[in-house]
Amino acid sequence: MTIDKVPEEDISSEKVSAVSTWIYDRTGQGVERSQWVIKERPVTLYLNGREMVTLLCAGHHLDELAVGFFHAEGFLQTRDDLVTLDVEEVAGKVRIGTKADVSLPDRLWMKRTITSGCGKGSLFYYALDALMSRPVKGDIEISPQQVLDRVEELHRLSEIYRRTHGVHNTVLAAPHKALLFRDDIGRHNAVDMIVGYAFLNRISLEDKILITTGRLTSEILIKAAKVNIPIIISRNTATTLAIELAHSLNITLIGYARAGKFTVYSGRERIIDAVGV
């Protein structure tokens, strides 16, 4: 399956809510004003009947969120591994069944780590994750102008961001156009939705680009490596561990993409017309 057009974002009362607020300035003058805020809710994910984790999220695209989470964490290797997918929207539960019992061993079940992402996205993160991830082999290339063009699309695609400024935006892209857009209160959740959509629709990510508004951290790098995404771009900075992992996993890592320029931390060979390559 290919993606021909970025789907229109659905703005509904399920995603945002109008609340009454008071806006004050330094003079002490206050004005009552109605303001849009993003909704937040817990969603619990189950794997083969076992409660695995509860994510704090905006509460939409729950099928993609759950599938992407479990795929990026290694519990779903191929599309054929997914046997059942049951979303309980009102209850905030997603139940996934697989061909084999791939629940975490007890020794790892106790080592869940709360990541540094907004929304406290839980990640079954342990040191071997990085060692078990294989270098990405995608040979995709992108020009400097394309980098900046794709980043500029991020906020243009999010009506929720324009209303609330309360979400992280993520885009799956080809060098010449955006392909898929998702947003959420947590940057990891938005990435998992992208991964989940691709998994459910059997879309290869080896020739795709991941663009996010969040920080470039080790968790994002490992997620990308596990699903073979070769280029990651953000308007924000990268951590030292993320940069080290990007070098070892052959991922092109681009940050501070704003105001007509960007920083390449690793994988410069994928930048077209880069001087000195």
Q: For residues 6 and 180, is the Cβ–Cβ distance under 8 A?
A: yes
Please count the other Cβ atoms lying within 10 Å of the Cβ belonging to residue 269: 13
E strand intervals along the chain = 16-24, 30-38, 41-47, 50-57, 82-88, 93-98, 113-114, 122-123, 168-174, 177-184, 209-212, 231-234, 252-258, 261-266
* Axis crossing angle, helix 218-226 with helix 62-72, rounded to the nearest 10: 90
118, 180, 211, 251: which one is catalytic? Answer: 118
Sign of CA dihedral 208, 213, 215, 220: negative
> What is the Cα–Cα distance from 40 to 99, expressed in whole angstroms?
32
Q: Which two tokens stand for residue 184?
A: 């959420």
> What is the Cα–Cα distance from 129 to 126, expressed in whole angstroms?
6
Strand partners, 42: 56
Q: Which two tokens stand for residue 78?
A: 């191929």
> What is the Cα–Cα distance from 181 to 203, expressed in whole angstroms?
15
Helices (H) and strands (E) counted in the chain, each on its own, are 8, 14
Give catalytic status of residue 57 as yes or no.
no
Strand partners, 113: 123
Just list the catalytic residues.
Answer: 118
